[in-house]
Amino acid sequence: MSNKVFIGFIVFVIVGSVGYFALNKKNNPAPERLGTSQQDKGQKHVEGIEKQSNKGGQPPTSGDHAISPLPWQVYDQEIPDSVAIHNLEHGGIYISYRPDVPKEQIDKIKAVFFEPFSIDNFTPNKVVLAPRPLNESPIILSSWTQSQKFESFDEEQMVQYYRTNVGKSPEAGAQ
């Protein structure tokens, strides 16, 4: 086989592969993010903001925030919104709930999102769960510029929210 034929074959394979993947992506777009879109308020790191008090309604999904994110885990105490925002910036999901949500529902959320996982082939790795007394809804899932309110535990919708929103942020690759 001559060099020209070999080079032509390689070019053909590369062009064909690029075309295939481009068409496949166009025909199978990424699923639309679940939840309600929120205004992007930036992503400025601010020293000393960790002690800033939370405001009522729902957790912010972007904006000025603490310099360091939290470890991905369950928290028994309320966490400052300004710290949780940094986790959202890293592509994570913040699940906040009012303290009056029944313990059984919180246990179900823990079983879905933390080890030992209750759903086969679903092992989320970027989740923070914490009480938030000022939530306007019993449970709120937040991600970068997106949120969804829940009146009670809804496994299917919560898993779908995670799948369509995790990693959709300015620094998704960060831990």
pLDDT for 94-144, tens place per residue? 999 999 999 999 999 999 999 999 999 999 999 999 999 999 999 999 999
Strand partners of residue 45: 65
Task: State the residue for tokens 């308020």.
Answer: 41
Task: State the residue for tokens 């898993």.
Answer: 159
Angle between helices 103-113 and 155-165 (to 10 degrees): 40
Supply the pLDDT for residue 33.
83
Task: State the residue for tokens 């919180």.
Answer: 106
Q: How far apart are CA 146 and CA 128, in angstroms?
A: 15
End-to-end alpha-carbon separation of the chain, Å?
A: 49
Q: How far apart are CA 112 and CA 11, in angstroms?
A: 47
pLDDT for 5-38, tens place per residue? 677 667 666 766 665 665 655 555 556 887 878 8
Helix (H, G, I), strand (E, B) or coil at 16: helix
Q: How far apart are CA 38 and CA 28, in angstroms?
A: 26
pTM, two decimal places: 0.79
Strand partners of residue 131: 97
